[in-house]
Amino acid sequence: MKLAYDLEVNALVVELAEGAVEHTVEVGLGTLADLDAGGHVLSIEVLNPGRRWPLERVLERFALGPSDRAMLTGIWASRLTLDLCELAPLPAG
């Protein structure tokens, strides 16, 4: 699992697996899941991750392994996403 945060668009991406994205589904407002041809989750993108995003919908809708479920639950329950949102770009110069 890899985490990436895009400060410019205020988005958290949780990469669960590598592969070719076949399609993207909206799980909830501002929460997207990238799926492969077999319907397996490759990544989850959360726009404005400082809010409570619909993790329960993700866990109910997709078959995820125990370690991925535990990691996503930990991210969701912690202040990690809130701390990421508090980052500000460095001043130019």
Q: What does the pLDDT average to over 7-30?
A: 93
pLDDT of residue 79: 54
Cβ neighbors of 92 (< 8 A, separation 6 or more) are none
pLDDT of residue 61: 93
pLDDT of residue 88: 45
The residue extents of the domains of the chain are 2-85
Better pLDDT: 77 or 36: 36
Strands lying side by side in the sheet with 31-35: 2-6, 11-15, 41-47, 31-35, 23-28
Q: What does the pLDDT average to over 62-78?
A: 87
pLDDT of residue 27: 95
What pTM does this model have? 0.77
